[in-house]
Structure 1
Amino acid sequence: MRKPLILFSLLVFALGTAIWSMVPSPTQTASAEQSLDLVEGKQQYQDYCASCHGANLEGQPDWRSVGPDGILPAPPHDETGHTWHHSDSALFDYTKLGGAEALARQGVDFQSGMPGFGDQLTDSEIRNILAFISSTWPDRQRDVQATRSSTERDQLDN
């Protein structure tokens, strides 16, 4: 009588473990691409970002040179800029919190002209904007940025 009970318990444990392993972690759920809306992202980009970063993602002139106010102009978000050098989470934080706050959380004191949009845009809208921006990059830039994001997620999971 004990042997069937032990076998049943092992079966329930194995089934529970298998089901639990299929539940996505919060980072997997948050980064699921199935919920991204590029059309909305493009419109939100035009509404919130284009005034500084350009209607065609071209950025401001002389974006690599500090202006008279001590702040760097808005960089391009196309392949000529450095946006694709950063992970998804870094871009998300920079957009939501603003440049100075996002960098301060990493221990970097930096005067940034990038405001935070966390009080104006939902997390989903920010992700849609970032998805739209990355959708305009050539394959090489998208691949580099995706690898950087994946590596960062893997490091956080370990």
Structure 2
Amino acid sequence: MKPIDLASFAVAIIALAAVVYVVRTPSGSVSEGASIFASDVSEATIAQGQALYQENCASCHGKSLEGQPNWREPDADGRLPAPPHDESGHTWHHPDSMLFDYTKFGGQATLAALGVELESGMPAFGEKLSDDQIRSILDYIKSAWPARVRAAQAEQTRADEEARNQ
């Protein structure tokens, strides 16, 4: 396979995992069955999230949410580099519950729980960060998106929560 074909395949697998995620979540997910994000986020929460992001996430995802260069192309180990968390990336295509679990449990565990075999470089932060700290980081990331992107991501979250409550 050409490298670009492998990258396209990996992105397609992650997108498929997001669709499957609406139906099934990893065991122990605190997000299961309920909204995990407040609809109104304070400036203090966003500031805390920004500080925590800089401390825990920026080394891979960039100081300004820009991600690593060539993030759509696998590196020498076959893993995709860290994607951007700004509007140019795919973070906003996922519901809050998946973003939370991906951060708390790590990419490998979250994808494996969905039956997806894909090498992920995203570590688990559940032992280092509290649930509230993870939420504040995600709130910070979402605060940087334009209104149309926030609205699209909110719709993903709404549909996910609706499916979980059926």
> Are residue 153 (structure 1) and residue 161 (structure 2) matched?
yes
| Structure 2: gaps spanning 5 or more residues | 1-32
User: Which residue pairs with 1:31 in the alignment?
Assistant: 37
Which structure carries more helix by proportion?
1
Distance 2:57 2:146 in 1: 21
Distance 1:35 1:145 in 2: 15
One-letter amino acid of the counterpart of residue 134, structure 2: I
| Structure 1: gaps spanning 5 or more residues | 1-25
User: Which residue pairs with 2:13 in the alignment?
Assistant: none
- SS of the residue corresponding to residue 71 of structure 1 reads coil
- SS of the residue corresponding to residue 43 of structure 1 reads helix
> What root-mean-square deviation, in Å, do the aligned CA atoms of Structure 1 and Structure 2 show?
1.3
Distance 1:110 1:121 in 2: 24
- Provide TM-score, normalisation by structure 2: 0.76
Distance 1:89 1:125 in 2: 15
Distance 1:47 1:33 in 2: 25
Which of these two proteins has the greater Rg computed from alpha carbons?
1
Distance 1:102 1:131 in 2: 20
Q: Which has the higher contact order (CA 8 A, sep 6+)?
A: 2
Q: 1:7-86 maps to which residues of 2 (within 5 A)? A: 27-28=34-35, 30-34=36-40, 37-86=45-94
CA shift at 1:82, angstroms? 0.4
- SS of the residue corresponding to residue 27 of structure 1 reads coil
One-letter amino acid of the counterpart of residue 164, structure 2: L
| Residues paired across the two proteins, number | 132
CA shift at 1:33, angstroms? 3.7
Distance 1:84 1:152 in 2: 13
Q: 1:123-142 maps to which residues of 2 (within 5 A)? A: 123-142=131-150
User: Which residue pairs with 1:18 in the alignment?
Assistant: none
